[in-house]
Amino acid sequence: MKQISILGAGRSSGFLISYLGNFADREGWKLRVCDKDFIRLQTSFEISSHTELSIVDLSVSSELSRIISDSFLVVSILPPTLHIEVAKICLVHGAHLFTASYTSAQMRSLDAEATAKGLLFMNELGLDPGIDHLSASRLFDKAQAEGLEVVEFESHCGGLVSEESCGNNPWKYKFTWNPSNVVLAGQGDPCVWKEEGNIKCIDAQRVFAESRKISIPRWGIFDVYANRNSLTYQDLYRLNNAKTLIRGTLRRENYCKAWSVLVDWGFTNSNDSVPLQVKTRKDWFQWLTGVKNFSQWTIQLLRDDANLENIIGHLQYLELDISRVGESISGLNSAKILENILLDKWQLQANDIDEVVMVHKLVLRDLNGKSKQWFSILRVLGEGGDRTAMAKTVGLPLAIGVETFLMGKCKDRGVMVPFEKSWYQPILEKLALQKIVFEEHFA
């Protein structure tokens, strides 16, 4: 039997493993899943007869090499920092590679060698990036076929929680993805996009302060903040002549204004050195703000900016100045302290229903110069527990992409991203069978 190896069995892996397990059963392949434990997976998903669960320490290079050495294809859902090591081992052993992560410069540098060896290294085949590329490419081809020019393009996505599952949480947000990534959002490279013909570039720490509102038909008003370098996709999307190109992240209304306060005051700083005498959460709060308690901080915030009144409840909900018995912050930076607080406040409960919302907003111009707006909207609800909308929308496009390749329908080789019709058509058609479907609105 030819073997598919999946590296990682974490929160986002369940639907991927289940789908490829069924594929392995049907087509006579062997599926091996590697991780340190499989408790969450086995609790929420049925494991097929051709799926082997292998306990492995994936941080050990020799173990990675052993696993990849007899694999025809590897699916890595490890942290993105590990993908290059995995890719280089795949080159040694002649294994194809699929990931849901952004294509790094290091990964792109492997293109020539992967192509020469007849290997496909497919990246950005998850939710965002992934479904966004597939669905946007379909829209662009449809517009072109109808003689319409894309003048403006926005694409935004958010992993959220249904409002019914938020209770008294004014942020209307819980963790459905890596908590560290949420806390550290806005600490990377500058964010770049094009707007009304002008190139915009802002420091990543300003993205929340510079957020905007977007009104999504049927679903209301959301915050959106810029995501990385949107111009990376200008050539790939064939939008060099578009006046606007921006990719962003969605949050519920007023999330960004409240988070911007945390950023400005240093609560998300991953590079600070908390003094040794700061031993409790209350000490930490006083050290960052220079005041004794939240009430005094509120007075200062509103004195500086009266418009913050509608987000004071967001900040109060986090109880940043209230210490906990047995809590230790020794040796932690501020971002990690905040993450620990949020792991308690924003923990997704077993009966909570998460949701994924994605929206593409296009302004199109016909041959007569007349313009119209086109919204393409995806909303997917989770099923509770680890059967989340996030796991579904990350795992299923990756699994279907692997299936498409293994069935011989795509002959591409090298380091790739899924833009072509040969990828988006079969994957989107099969996602529709899983009730992952876009609805369209024209204005």
Query: What kind of fold does domain 3-127+389-436 have according to CATH?
Result: Rossmann fold (3.40.50)
Q: What's the whole-number average pLDDT of the chain?
A: 95
Rounded Cα–Cα distance for residues 85 and 79 (Å)? 11
Give the pLDDT of residue 31. Answer: 97
Digit-coded pLDDT (tens) for 154-193: 999 999 999 999 989 999 999 988 899 899 987 888 999 9
Per-residue pLDDT for 443 more than 80?
no
Residue limits of CATH 3.30.360.10 in the chain: 131-259+350-381
Give the pLDDT of residue 330. Answer: 87
Mean pLDDT lowest among 58-62, 95-99, 395-399: 58-62
Give the pLDDT of residue 11. Answer: 87
Give the pLDDT of residue 368. Answer: 93
pTM given for the model = 0.93
Digit-coded pLDDT (tens) for 389-401: 999 999 999 999 9
Percent of the chain with pLDDT strictly greater than 70: 100
Digit-coded pLDDT (tens) for 235-255: 989 999 999 999 999 999 999
Helix axes 334-345, 281-289, angle to 10 degrees: 120
Digit-coded pLDDT (tens) for 247-279: 999 999 999 999 999 999 999 999 998 998 999
pLDDT, average across residues 411-427: 96
Give the pLDDT of residue 172. Answer: 96
pLDDT band at 150 (very low <50, low <70, confident <90, very high): very high
Residue 134 tokens read as: 């597939």
pLDDT, average across residues 339-368: 95
Residue 68: partners with Cβ closer than 8 Å, 6 or more residues away: 5, 74, 86, 89, 90, 92, 93, 95
- Report the candidate in 59, 82, 69, 48 with the shortest Cα–Cα distance to residue 5: 69
pLDDT band at 293 (very low <50, low <70, confident <90, very high): very high
More confident residue, 326 or 56: 56
Residue 195 tokens read as: 């707007």
Residue 95 tokens read as: 């294994």
Residue 225 burial (10 A CB sphere; 0-12, 13-18, 19+): buried
Question: How many C-beta neighbours within 10 Å does residue 195 have?
Answer: 15
Give the pLDDT of residue 12. Answer: 87
Query: What kind of fold does domain 131-259+350-381 have according to CATH?
Result: Dihydrodipicolinate Reductase; domain 2 (3.30.360)
Question: What does DSSP assign to residue 242?
Answer: -
